[in-house]
Amino acid sequence: MKKVLLILGVLVLLVVLAIVGLVAFGLSQFDTLAKRLVEDGGTYATGVETTVSGVDVGLQAGTLSMDGLKIANPDGYDSAHFLAMGSAFTSVDYATVSAPAIRVPEVTLTGIDVILDKTGGKANYQVILDNLKRFESGEKTEPKPESTKGQKITIDHLKIEDISVSLVGVPGISQIAGDVNVKVPLVELEGIGGEEGMGFGELTSLIVKTVLSAAVEAGGGIIPGDILGELSGGLGQLTSISGMGVNVLGDMGGKIGGVGKGVMEGAQKQVDDAVGQTQEKVGEAVDDAANQAKEKLGGLFGGGDDDEDDGGP
């Protein structure tokens, strides 16, 4: 009897170990799948390499965390990246993992760092926005990664915290004033993906558009007017945030929800103000030069402005 009980105990232990092993294997596979979905979707949408350092699933808590997301620069730029994210934390409805659209009640993205690089020729953000335009229009020529086909996501509430946007390599600006930096504390979105869900490439496009739109809105008086115009022009050619069925909450809602119109009007005002200030300064400089020349000529010929003509040669 003791031997039978011992054998049964060993079998139970083996079964438990097998179950634990299968669960651990399943979780590791889910981690790998989530990482691949984000990387492949981001790369396909932006046209540049997108990587994630790690993904961690908390099955009992119903959470998923991610860190070290990085959207690289296009070729030809020396700055560290186009966009990098410190961390992401989500609550996940695991009952929908096998469904066509995974439901995520809440996502928080923290520590977004964007570098707008204008070092020589075309800016990195122009390349990224052009790639997003091709992605949204369906003009992408390379095959869509198998990992992104069919799998979609819906997010009830998305918070993007601690956004920092730097501008480097701008001739005449960086050399004098150093790198320009804009801070955006928080942007909140809701209703991402609607009922059918949104692909991971679309989600990447949404995040990039939201961050750049918020930077343009917050960058008035900080970012040069021509840069605002370029960003607004590129954003205006993409599907608006509201056009994606997404709501922007709080004060930012009416400012960046449309992406194109409101942002472009604000940027155009910045450009007009800059042109007006330049023209005013040029006019003042011309007047000053004319007055100085007049004074010098008066001294040269021995008389000032009030001297009367003596009728001599």
- For 101-132, the pLDDT digits (tens) are 888 899 999 999 999 998 877 899 999 999 99
Q: What is the pLDDT of residue 7?
A: 54
Q: Identify the segments of the chain with pLDDT beneath 50.
A: 5, 9-28, 174-177, 261-268, 270-271, 274-275, 278-279, 281-282, 285-286, 290, 293-294, 296-313
Q: How far apart are CA 171 and CA 173, in angstroms?
A: 6
User: What SS3 class is residue 217?
Assistant: helix
Per the domain annotation, does 290 fall within a domain? no
Per the domain annotation, does 101 fall within a domain? yes
Return the closest-CA partner of residue 199 out of 256, 138, 247, 254. Answer: 138
Domain region containing 215: 25-285
Q: What is the pLDDT of residue 280?
A: 53
Per the domain annotation, does 17 fall within a domain? no
Q: What is the pLDDT of residue 59?
A: 62
Per the domain annotation, does 5 fall within a domain? no
Q: What is the pLDDT of residue 288?
A: 58
Convert 114-155 into a string of H (helix), E (strand) and C (coil): EEEECCCCCCHHHHHHHHHHHHHHCCCCCCCCHHHCCCEEEE
Domain count, the chain: 1
Element at 179 (helix H, strand E): none
CB of 207 closer than 8 Å to CB of 109: yes
Per the domain annotation, does 264 fall within a domain? yes
Per the domain annotation, does 310 fall within a domain? no
